[in-house]
């Protein structure tokens, strides 16, 4: 089990609510498929517009790297 106490800095726009959320974010942050995962979030109709904007900004930042 992973035990992280803080959100990876490039995903800090996502607010984890539990230890499982922290663990999941840590795995996503180190995933080779991070951009694919973030892109899939954009298709989630339940996400707020502000969160979708944060996801878009992170995708742009990832492309600049």
Query: pTM for this one?
Result: 0.75
Q: Rounded distance, CA 43 to CA 48, Å?
A: 11
Q: How far is CA 30 from CA 10, 26, 48, 58, 64, in A?
A: 11, 7, 24, 14, 17
The one-character DSSP state at 47 is: S
In this prediction, residue 36 carries a pLDDT of 94
Can you give the pLDDT at residue 58?
92
- Helical H segments across 1-65, by residue range: 19-29, 34-42, 49-64
pLDDT in tens for each of the 65 residues of the chain? 455 566 677 888 888 888 888 888 888 888 899 999 999 999 999 989 999 999 999 999 988 87
Segments making up each domain of the chain, as ranges:
34-64
13 contacts 58 by C-beta, under 8 angstroms = yes
């Amino acid at each position: 089990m992973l035990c992280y106490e803080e959100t990876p800095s490039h995903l800090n726009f996502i607010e984890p609510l539990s230890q499982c959320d922290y663990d999941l974010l840590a795995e996503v942050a180190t995933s080779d498929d991070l951009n694919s995962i973030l892109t899939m979030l954009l298709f989630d109709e339940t996400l707020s517009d502000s969160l979708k904007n944060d996801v878009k900004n992170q995708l742009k930042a990832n492309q600049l790297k």
